[in-house]
Amino acid sequence: MIAHEIKNKIQKIVNVFESGTPDGDYGCVSLYDDGPNQIKQITYGKSQTTEWGNLSSLLQLYVKNNGKYALDILKYSDSVGRVSLVTNKDFITLLKLASTDPIMHQTQDLFFDKHYWEPAEAWFNKNGFKLNLSMLVIYDSHIHSGSILKFLRDKFSEKVPANGGEEENWIFDYCKARFIWLNNHSNPILRKTVYRVDNFLTAIAEENWDLSKTFIANGTKIS
pLDDT at residue 36, as a whole number = 83
pLDDT of 1 above 80: no
Distances (CA, A) of 30 to 18, 95, 138, 149, 160: 10, 11, 24, 24, 35
Query: Which residues of the chain form beta strands (DSSP E)?
Result: 29-32, 41-44, 49-50, 215-217, 220-222
pLDDT per residue as tens digits for the range 164-187 = 999 999 999 999 999 999 999 998
DSSP structural state of residue 52: T
- Please state, rounded to an integer, the average pLDDT across all residues of the chain: 95
Q: Are strands 29-32 and 220-222 parallel, antiparallel or unpaired?
A: unpaired
At a CB cut-off of 8 Å and minimum separation 6, what does 131 contact? 167, 168, 171, 209, 210
Neighbour count for residue 119 (Cβ, 10 Å)? 17
Task: Identify the CA nearest to 145 among candidates 105, 93, 182.
Answer: 182
Residue pair 189/32 in contact (Cβ under 8 Å)? The answer is yes
Average pLDDT score over residue span 9-13: 97
As a CATH number, domain 4-222 is 1.20.141.10
pLDDT per residue as tens digits for the range 62-79 = 999 999 999 999 999 889
Average pLDDT score over residue span 189-212: 96
Average pLDDT score over residue span 22-45: 89
Please state, in angstroms and rounded to a whole number, the distance separating the CA atoms of residues 43 and 49. Answer: 5
